[in-house]
Structure 1
Amino acid sequence: MNRETRRRLTRELLDNAVKAPIDETHELLQRHGALRPGAGKLSSVVALSLGFLALLAVLAFHFPQYLTTPDLRHQYSIDVLRQLLLVALLVAGGMSLGNLVLGRQRNLNLVAFALVLAATALGGSRVPVGNFPDHTPYIGLDWFILDLLGSTLVFVVIEKLFPLYKGQTLFRAEWQTDLKHFAVNHFIVGLALLSVNFLLHHLFGWLVSSGFQQAVQHIAFVPQLLLCVLVADLAQYWTHRAYHEVPFLWRFHAVHHSVKTMDWLAGSRQHMLELMATRVCVLAPLYILGFSEAVMNGYILIVGFQAVFNHANVHLPWGPLKYLVVTPDFHHWHHASDEEAIDRNYAAHYAFLDHLFGTAVKSPKVFPEKYGVVGDYMPDGFVRQQLFPFRRK
């Protein structure tokens, strides 16, 4: 065997050693369905996910002025985040190395271990964070990482403990599309907040009365919070109803309704323009009324939880509470394509609004039979769904 042949064979071996793990990882990300127990697939997915998120977290430590959200980085503890990052690296590294030793899912775990090595080589949890400018353009990478981890840990557990559809898998069909929606919605948080704040100040600033706002802020915390949620839900109800009843607006809202399997990730599917427009319409009255900062923080926690929880694959015995607040059972009917569910159950927080305005679902059935838009005409894929409203009919 001559030298040129040996070089060629060496190059082919190296290419295959790199290409095979990447190809298998890409193939995994295209699949859906249940993970077969006992084959190391679940631990490999956990290791791969944690390794990827840990690498993103290290990058956020290196470039906090561009990759972290100002409102968040003033709240959380750097030391706690370092500890979480260290735990993620240890878990991902331990799982991937253990699977490699046992010969399970070798290619996937090679990629996971490579991600851990890359994150460690870049400084791991010991990346120094010095002073940096606070008013730079940014991507909400930290918000994406923390929310994805938190939502997965909390809502996946709830879905497994109290499932509405017991046979539904974690990696259901089209989960990849909804994860892209989830990521983009978090990454553009800076642009969204900037746009919303600009529109609020320029469109509604003239309506603000400092005396009236001070009177609102003097209301006790709990009744002020309940009032804040009510005002927001009234604005959301009529905005949401307009999306259904105005054909042009429906083309944007149909993206959200095109999801055919309901779970905690399903609520992330949303057109970016609808996301910003709805926030302006809902936040405008709150901005005008001038609710206190503590109340607004409470409202953000409530809307953040309900936006995910009400789409989740969860069923609980709600009793009379189902007539007062929006639950997953209530909101699932809104996403149903059953005839009696069309253009019903608009509220996001208070279910009694739909009963008050005559838009609550009335059906002898306990649960819907199918979800999605009638006719199933929405294309799959994040980019195609963002372009859908602008296509010719």
Structure 2
Amino acid sequence: MIDLSDMVGVSRSATLVLAWLVAIFVPLEWARPMSPGQRRLRAGLATDLAFFAGQHLVFGALVVWCFTGALERVPQPQALATLQSGFGRLPLVVRALAVIVLGDLAMYWGHRLQHRVPLLWRFHAVHHSAEKLDFMAAHREHPLDGLYTQFFMNLPAVLLGFSFEGLLGLVAFRGLWATFIHANVDLPLGRLALVFGSPRHHHIHHLRERDPGNYANLAPWIDWLFGTHRELDDEQLARIQRGDGLDLGLDEPGPKTYLGLLVHPFRPK
């Protein structure tokens, strides 16, 4: 039986998260917009709000359940236990940096596969169906695609025995940064742009191309390392300066509603 108090608590938590995101990103998007002409109440906003609600009220708990269930059932080799023991003796800062870098490398290749393997693209295309980007568009993600992403990002941390509390902190940090890079914000990072992903860097990834580059959400240096880093060309920069925005989304037609996008990957082509 569903515990009503648990549902109320989850709903309250989701409302607080949304309030914090609005408080952080609405002023940023107003002060330094990537696309100045983009309306706040844009087309597709209701769909993205539905994805946000689905993530926080239903599918987020499902991801945690899948991970914890898998960890309880997978046997642990002695070599892995020895590795975890040695890793656990390292300073916390070193351990945190290690799992972030290894998670970024794993997700980079996982992300490239999402764009190259037709079955994976069916689900990942839901995320790329957004034709306007802002901080709410970051949450447009099919739950199975989200489970795939969380698997790659957190697998190194899980294998190395990173604490559950630390893992939750990493998930929260990555989620906030994913929200930032989708935001309608043009915030120059200077030299840090090679270390940390930015909206300008990630908006290129959402251009109407199947292989757009910029697959590393958090660490652009990985794209530099493997030759997939992309910059805006002069025409695209001129469009941004005119307030026209970039040509984002998919060339293939598809549904616009939340339920339609959830079902679409399962339909035969």
TM value normalised by structure 1: 0.61
Contact 1:233–1:347 at 8 Å: present in 2 too?
yes
1:169 equivalent to 2:14? Answer no
Distance in 2 separating the partners of 1:373 and 1:258: 6
Distance in 1 separating the partners of 2:78 and 2:108: 22
Distance in 2 separating the partners of 1:378 and 1:204: 42
Q: How far is the alpha carbon of 1:204 from its aligned partner?
A: 6.8
TM value normalised by structure 2: 0.88
Q: How far is the alpha carbon of 1:142 from its aligned partner?
A: 2.8
1:373 equivalent to 2:242? Answer no
Match of 1:245 in 2: 116
Match of 1:360 in 2: 229
Distance in 1 separating the partners of 2:254 and 2:71: 32
Distance in 2 separating the partners of 1:198 and 1:183: 24
Match of 1:8 in 2: none
Distance in 2 separating the partners of 1:282 and 1:318: 24
Distance in 2 separating the partners of 1:204 and 1:317: 46
Q: Which AA in structure 1 matches 2:142?
A: H
- Size of the alignment, in residue pairs? 258
Contact 2:115–2:121 at 8 Å: present in 1 too?
yes
Structure 2: gaps spanning 5 or more residues: none
Match of 2:173 in 1: 302
- Cα deviation code 1:180-232 (max 9, x no counterpart): 00000111122221022223443574487333223222222323222121111
Q: How far is the alpha carbon of 1:297 from its aligned partner?
A: 4.4
Contact 1:204–1:284 at 8 Å: present in 2 too?
no
Higher Cα Rg, which structure:
1
Identity of aligned pairs, percent? 33
Distance in 2 separating the partners of 1:355 and 1:204: 37
Distance in 1 separating the partners of 2:51 and 2:39: 19
Q: How far is the alpha carbon of 1:145 from its aligned partner?
A: 1.1
Distance in 2 separating the partners of 1:204 and 1:263: 42
Larger relative contact order (C-alpha < 8 A, sep ≥ 6)?
2
Query: Equivalent residues in 2 for 1:238-387 (5 A)?
Result: 238-292=109-163, 295-337=166-208, 342-365=211-234, 366=237, 369-375=246-252, 377-387=253-263
- Cα deviation code 1:324-368 (max 9, x no counterpart): 21111111111111x5x8331111211100111111115533367
- More moved, 272-281 vs 255-264: 272-281
Contact 1:174–1:380 at 8 Å: present in 2 too?
yes
